[in-house]
Amino acid sequence: MESLQDSQQRRMTLRAITWPIFIELFLQMIMGSTDIIMLSHISDDVVAAIGVANQLVFFAILLFNFTATGTAVLISQYLGAGLKKDAKQASAISLTINLGMGLVVSVLFVIFKGPLLNIFHLDPDIAIIGYDYLSIVGGTLFLQAMLVTISAILRSNGFTREAMFVSVMMNLIHLVGNALVIYGWFGFPEMGVKGVALSTAFSRAAALVIAFWFMYKRLPIRIEWNDYIDFQLTHIKKILKIGIPAAGEQLSYNTSQMAMTAITALLGAAALSTRVYTWNIMSFIMLFALAVGQGTQILIGYRVGAGDFAGAYKQLLKSLKVSFILTIVIAIVIAMFRETIMGLFTDDPEIIKVGSTLLLLCLILEPGRTLNLIVVNSLRATGDAVFTVKMGVLSMWGIAVPVSYLLGIQFGLGLAGVWIAFIADEWFRGIVMYFRWKSRAWEKKVLVERKEIVAS
């Protein structure tokens, strides 16, 4: 088996880490878009219902990500400092924490699915579709809780190709499952939304099995059963030091997006469908920033763990340059073919027209989002997570939500007003975070202390 020592130098470069993350995200988004296209063959109402329901699901997944994010940063710093045993123990503890949290969240989703969907004031027909979906997908969220944690562990150890394979297999299984239950292939009953929900749950279960196999096959030190119940407070505190602020920031973002979706719902079902289609396309534009951001987080975690602050500082600047170029190019390409791309999702001329306008606005939006994503991931990788959540909450609720209501509803700009609010929020946060990085205040936030390395 390839050891960490033998393979670390080869795997710990931006290109080596990022390309599997990029492919993973790219295939996820293609399959996600295909998922939406397949659902649109049922009806636009189904797309709207599942799009809204998935916001609640994503909200729950962000809860799981607070442990996964804290673990990813801690493992990167531990490995950078050569503390492999500590990295192994932190991995096991994070899995136990997220399993417990996942089981609680799954039960709550099943019990409170009605009140949760009522937040969006959906039409009764759309709400009923959402209830069916959440009963199954929400009830099996504990599978996703485990899956995001193992994926974070694999990536932090440099095994981004393995994490990519797990994600690709999950999405392929889900896609085939959707085809069986939506189109009735090979004699399967056409089960509609319930079938799609079952397909989602089954694909996550299959992916979890594969992820566990990779974790036990690849990690340099094998996790033992007693590691899962050995709750060492030192590791837990460090995970929470990153995870809680990261969760606060992500929860703030997700709840602000839910608020903006509720504002969009005031514009009608067509606006909701337009938002789902356009957001799905936008995901391709920010794909490069997401991949580079995740790869940069791992590299910077290693470097600050090893005490190489100068290398960490330069890595952020290098990553920003790469991400800006790629994001701007893909944004221009999508803007050029915006109407054709929107036409893949719907034949409604009004949805195509409004969605095309929003894609033009993305030429301004996406560079700001790129700046924000890369720098926030980098600050978090150093341990400087509290600052990012403070500024995130301030911007999301002080700019994004009120400005979207003011422009979209009060001034009558509709979805264009909501997108302008997105632009203001992303650029403000990105610029503030960049100056935080330039200040180098993050050098004092590193989780791994020098005395720990000496003691090892």
For residue 272, which amino acid is it?
A: L
What is the sign of the dihedral through the CA atoms of 172, 174, 178 and 181? positive
3-state helix, strand, coil in the chain (%, to 5): 85, 0, 15
Residue 1 is predicted with a pLDDT of 38
Q: How far apart are CA 160 and CA 24, in angstroms?
A: 9
Residue 251 is predicted with a pLDDT of 79
Residue 346 pLDDT class (50, 70, 90 cuts): confident
Higher-confidence residue: 66 or 140?
A: 140
Count of structural domains within the chain: 1
Q: How far apart are CA 284 and CA 296, in angstroms?
A: 19
Residue 261 is predicted with a pLDDT of 87
Residue 28 is predicted with a pLDDT of 66
User: Running DSSP on this structure, what letter comes out for residue 220?
Assistant: S
pLDDT tens-place string over residues 239-259: 888 888 887 887 788 788 888
Instruction: Say yes or no to pLDDT of 36 above 70.
Output: no
Q: How far apart are CA 28 and CA 168, in angstroms?
A: 7
Burial label, 142 (beta-carbon count in 10 A; 0-12, 13-18, 19+):
buried
pLDDT tens-place string over residues 223-234: 888 888 877 788
Residue 113 is predicted with a pLDDT of 78
Residue 2 is encoded by which pair of tokens? 């390839």
Report CA-CA distances (Å) from 71 to 74, 235, 276. 5, 9, 31
Residue 40 is predicted with a pLDDT of 72
Higher-confidence residue: 131 or 73?
A: 73
Residue 454 forms part of a structural domain = no
pLDDT tens-place string over residues 399-416: 999 999 999 999 989 899
Residue 255 is predicted with a pLDDT of 84
Residue 318 pLDDT class (50, 70, 90 cuts): very high
Residue 208 is predicted with a pLDDT of 94
Higher-confidence residue: 309 or 179?
A: 309
Helix, strand, or coil (residue 56): helix
Higher-confidence residue: 206 or 124?
A: 206
Q: How far apart are CA 379 and CA 375, in angstroms?
A: 6
Closest CA to 144 of 180, 89, 103: 103
Q: How far apart are CA 32 and CA 182, in angstroms?
A: 15
Instruction: Say yes or no to pLDDT of 7 above 70.
Output: no
Residue 1 forms part of a structural domain = no
Mean pLDDT of 287-314: 89
Cβ atoms of 162 and 224 closer than 8 Å: no
Whole-prediction pTM: 0.78
pLDDT tens-place string over residues 347-397: 888 889 998 999 999 999 999 999 999 999 999 989 888 899 999 999 999
Residue 397 forms part of a structural domain = yes
Cβ atoms of 151 and 75 closer than 8 Å: no
Q: How far apart are CA 217 and CA 128, in angstroms?
A: 44
What is the sign of the dihedral through the CA atoms of 257, 28, 122 and 338? positive
pLDDT tens-place string over residues 259-287: 888 898 888 888 888 888 888 788 778 88
What is the sign of the dihedral through the CA atoms of 163, 250, 40 and 355? negative
Percent pLDDT > 70 in the chain is 93
Residue 2 forms part of a structural domain = no
Closest CA to 295 of 149, 164, 390, 388: 164
Residue 450 forms part of a structural domain = no
Residue 4 is predicted with a pLDDT of 41
Residue 5 forms part of a structural domain = no
Residue 194 forms part of a structural domain = yes
Closest CA to 76 of 245, 306, 318, 340: 306
- List the Cα angle 160/166/167 in 5-degree steps: 90
Higher-confidence residue: 373 or 36?
A: 373
Q: How far apart are CA 236 and CA 285, in angstroms?
A: 36
Residue 112 forms part of a structural domain = yes
Its domain, for residue 305, covers: 11-443
Mean pLDDT of 421-445: 93
Residue 30 is predicted with a pLDDT of 66
Residue 8 pLDDT class (50, 70, 90 cuts): low
Instruction: Say yes or no to pLDDT of 205 above 90.
Output: yes
pLDDT tens-place string over residues 125-181: 777 777 788 888 888 899 999 999 999 999 888 888 898 899 889 888 988 888 888
Instruction: Find the helix or strand (DSSP H, E) in which 128 lies.
Output: helix 124-137
Mean pLDDT of 176-193: 78
